[in-house]
Amino acid sequence: DFTLQLADIFIVHNNKMLEYFTKLGIDRNRLISLSIFDYLLEKKKKSIIFEKSITIAGNLQTIKSSYIKKLSCLSPLKIHLYGPNYDQKNTTENISYHGIYSSDEIPQILNCGFGLVWDGNSLDGCYGDTGEYLRYNNPHKLSLYLAAGLPVIIWESAAEASFVKENKVGITVNSLYEISSILDDIDEHTYLQYLCNVRTVSEKLIHGHFTKNALAAAEKRIFQNKK
């Protein structure tokens, strides 16, 4: 491929994607892991509310993410939805739809519970093409939730599950049906610990820390390779 020959260094999403490229035959020395997408933002002070609920922000079109139309099955788990293309006939007592906000507005709006990082066609796991892609990519909504100050819940097999665990900014699950019982066991003290860890990561995301680090590492690698 012409692009593979042209570039000196590739900045890839995360370590799982890095391993994927090495299996394709790309020299590991040409690969830098970003870890997570930054979310540049002028942050304003706001309060995060302890609530045993999940928030889903993004494209709510069921053609792309058909698990959305099955969320009523998670009742009585409280669910907040934000984003375009929501079919309101899927709304039930446990689901609140809050409308559409821009990428600059939404981080100031999200203020309770856990942000959900999920995709695909099932509540039991992230299946289908969009679900399987979570095994390799950095979901934009993960960065959104963390920049907004929310801890997260993410699929256990997602590439970014390791980032969530290492930084103690949320919970990993195999199935969405696990969430209610997990949240039952979480008290406000535990939630506040998550918020403290999220605050640390959030400050990095909104100031471009991970992009700056990856670019610095790429420049250093190019310089070393040309010696």
78-97 pLDDT tens trace? 999 999 999 988 888 999 99
Q: What does the pLDDT average to over 15-30?
A: 93
The pLDDT value recorded for residue 224 is 82
Q: What does the pLDDT average to over 206-226?
A: 92
For the chain, the average pLDDT equals 94
The pLDDT value recorded for residue 227 is 65
d(CA 137, CA 46): 30
The pLDDT value recorded for residue 89 is 84
| Nearest-5° Cα angle at 45, 214 to 202 | 20
Whether 143 shows a pLDDT value over 90: the answer reads: yes
Report the half-sphere exposure of 36 (CA within 13 A, side-chain side): 26
Question: What long-range pairs does 171-177 form, CB within 8 A, spacing at least 24?
Answer: 171/114, 174/124, 174/125, 175/123, 175/124, 175/125, 176/67, 176/74, 176/116, 176/118, 176/123, 176/124, 177/74, 177/123, 177/124
Percent of the chain with pLDDT over 90: 83
Radius of gyration of the chain (CA): 18
Q: Give 34-89 pLDDT, tens digit per residue.
A: 999 999 998 788 999 999 999 999 999 988 889 999 999 999 999 999 999 999 88
Q: Give 95-140 pLDDT, tens digit per residue.
A: 999 999 999 999 999 999 999 999 999 999 999 888 999 999 999 9
- Binned at pLDDT 50, 70 and 90, residue 1 comes out as low
The pLDDT value recorded for residue 166 is 98
For residues 140 and 13, the answer to whether their CB atoms sit within 8 Å is no
